[in-house]
Amino acid sequence: MPVQPPSKDTEEMEAEGDSAAEMNGEEEESEEERSGSQTESEEESSEMDDEDYERRRSECVSEMLDLEKQFSELKEKLFRERLSQLRLRLEEVGAERAPEYTEPLGGLQRSLKIRIQGSTRASVWM
């Protein structure tokens, strides 16, 4: 036969039930008190949070506007610098001084000279 654990007396069980009920009642009261004080502190906290959020938001918006202004100024400065560089390059090409112009031109002139020399030699032999 299996051995069963000793059972508690009915009185012990009722006493435990009473103490548990009392503890639950005390806990409920303390929870109600806590929730009441939490509600008040949450309202104060929420007002402060709203003010803090609005202050932080306005700071961020102000900072963003400053950054946008700086970006626009830098963008304009970069545009002016690139335009100046392009004008300088255009001037160099017009004066036939730009390396991207003179190097291919030199190659073409050498090729032309070789062809002319080749054709004059061919005409001498004919």
Chain segment 70-81, per-residue pLDDT in tens? 999 999 999 999
For the full predicted model, state whether its pTM sits above 0.75: no
For the chain, state the CA radius of gyration: 47
| Confidence tier at 123 by pLDDT (50, 70, 90) | low
Take residue 5 and report the two structure tokens written for it.
């654990």
Angle at alpha carbon of residue 14, lines to 11 and 18, rounded to 5°: 140
Is the Cα dihedral 52, 55, 58, 63 positive or negative?
A: negative
Question: What local confidence, expressed as pLDDT, does residue 49 receive?
Answer: 86
Question: What local confidence, expressed as pLDDT, does residue 93 receive?
Answer: 85
| Confidence tier at 23 by pLDDT (50, 70, 90) | low
Per-residue pLDDT tens for 68-111? Answer: 999 999 999 999 999 999 999 899 888 888 888 888 989 999 99
